[in-house]
Amino acid sequence: MSLVARFQVAYPGYALEADLNLPGRGVSALFGPSGSGKSTLLRCVAGLTRAPGGYLEVNGQIWQDEARGLFLPPHRRALGYVFQEASLFSHLSVKRNLDYGWKRIAPAQRRVEREHILELLGMAPLLERKPDHLSGGERQRVAIARALLTSPKLLLMDEPLSALDHARKQEILPYLERLHDELEIPLVYVSHAPDEVARLADHLVVLEEGRVLASGPLTETLARLDLPIRLGEDAGVVLAGRIAERDAAWHLARVDFGGGSLWVRDAGLPLGREVRVRILARDVSLALQAHQGTSILNMLPARVEELAEDAHPALALARLDVGGAPLVARLTRRSVATLALAPGQRLWAQIKAVALIG
C-alpha cells in the first residue's frame, strides 16, 4: 500500500518538482515554510491543479497518468479535503451538514461507520447546533467528520488548524490523534507548525522553494545530520513510547521506548498509554562515563553514529544510536575534541529535559 505522486508545475518565478512514494496508511506531513509548495502539491493530489506529465497512484488505483492520457477530475477522486476554513453550510445544522457528506455516497460504497466517526470526533453534543454557534475548533471537527463521511480512500488536510488560537488547537489535536490511531484511511497533512507535525506525523516530507529536501519516516528524517530539521526552537527527534510507571510523589512518569526509558513530567495519562516524546538536541549532553550525584534523571548508553558541523562554527551535531533509536545532540566543537568523539564510540547520553507531546 502506497501513494505514488510525481508532479512538475511551473509558474513565473516558481516551480514545484515532487517525486514521492508515501505510505498507504498513517499520516504523511508536508512540512516547510510559506511558499515552499505544500499547498500546491496537495492541490495536485486533489486534481485541483493539473500537472502536465503528472502521475498519481493511491493504494493501487491510478488517478492520474498523463503519459496515458488519464486524469480523474476532483469529483471522481475518492478523497476528502479539509481546508483552513471549515466552509460549513451556515443555514444547516451540524447534523444536516454531516448528512450532506454521508448522502453523497451510495450505501454499497460506504466504507466508514457513521456512528464511529461521530464518536471519534465528539459530534453528539453538536448535532442540533448551527455553525455560527460553534467554536473554531468545533467547526473544524465538523468539517473533518463531513469529509470522512464521504468514505474517502485518501484524506487531505491543508493547514486545518492555522486559523485557530492555541487553546482551540489543543482542543482539536487529541481528536486528530484518535483518527490517526483508529482509522486506516491515509492522511496527507500540510502544516508549518512544528507541534502538529511532531504529534501527528508518521512520515515527513520537507519542502523548500518547490523542492523535496527530505522524505522518510518521522524519527529517521528528524535525525538526519545532513539536513537538521528544526521543529520549532531547535533540531531534535521524536520517539514513540508507552507510559510504564508513575512516581506520584514527584509528579513524574516513566516512558519506555525501544532504546530504554525516560522520566518525564506526569501529564496524568494512564499506564500503558502510547505517547510521543520530543527531545531537542540542545537538551542532550554526552559523557564518557555514567555520572553519579547529578540532577539529570535520564542517562542512556549510546553509540556515536555520525558527526557533522552545525550552523554556527563553534557547534557540532552528533547523531547517536540508543538501543536502535536515534538521538541528536548539539555540543561545541571544543567538546568534540576534548572527548575525542568518533563514529562507533560508546558513551552516555544525558538528557536534561524531555517534552511529552501526546
What count of residues does the chain have?
358
Residue 337 has pLDDT above 90, yes or no: yes
List pLDDT tens digits, range 21-31. Answer: 999 989 999 99
pLDDT of 246: 93
Of 23, 132, 141, nearest to 82 (Cα)?
141
Counting beta carbons within 10 angstroms of the beta carbon of residue 66, is it exposed (0 to 12), middle (13 to 18) or buried (19 or more)?
Answer: middle
Instruction: Tell me what pLDDT residue 299 has.
Output: 94
Note the pTM of the prediction, 2 decimals: 0.87
Q: How confident is the model at residue 169 (pLDDT cuts 50, 70, 90)?
A: confident
| Amino acid at site 325 | A
Q: Which pLDDT score, from 0 to 100, does residue 216 have?
A: 95
At residue 185, φ and ψ (nearest 5 deg) are -70, 125
Q: Tell me the average pLDDT across 346-352.
A: 94
Average per-residue pLDDT for the chain: 90
Q: What is the DSSP string of 111-159?
A: -S-HHHHHHHTT-GGGTTS-GGGS-HHHHHHHHHHHHHTT--SEEEEES
- Is the model's pLDDT at 105 over the cut of 90? no
Element (H, E) at 215: strand 211-217
Residue 358 has pLDDT above 70, yes or no: no
Domains of the chain: 2-222 (3.40.50.300), 236-241+272-356 (2.40.50.100)
The pLDDT of residue 318 is above 80:
yes
In this prediction, what percent of the chain has a pLDDT beyond 90? 63
pLDDT at 238: 92
Evaluate the CA torsion angle 239, 240, 242, 246 in order and state its sign.
positive
Strand partners, 356: 277
pLDDT-wise least confident of 131-140, 160-169, 250-259, 308-317: 160-169
pLDDT at 313: 93
CB-based contact 79:185 (threshold 8 Å): no
Yes or no: say if 356 and 277 are a contact pair by the CB < 8 Å rule: yes
Residue 355 confidence (pLDDT) above 80: no
CA distance 77 to 58: 10
Predicted pLDDT of residue 85: 82
pLDDT confidence bin for 263, thresholds 50/70/90: very high
Single out the residue of 199, 136, 201 nearest to residue 166, CA to CA: 136
Mean pLDDT of 128-133: 92
Angle at 245 between CA 283 and CA 322, to 5 degrees: 40
Strands 55-58 and 27-31: unpaired
207 grid coordinates:
519542502
Query: What average pLDDT does this structure show over 117-144?
Result: 91
Q: Fill in the amino acid letter for 217.
A: P
Using pLDDT thresholds of 50, 70 and 90, give the confidence band for residue 183: confident
356: pLDDT strictly greater than 80 = no
Number of separate helices (H) and strands (E) present in the chain: 8, 21
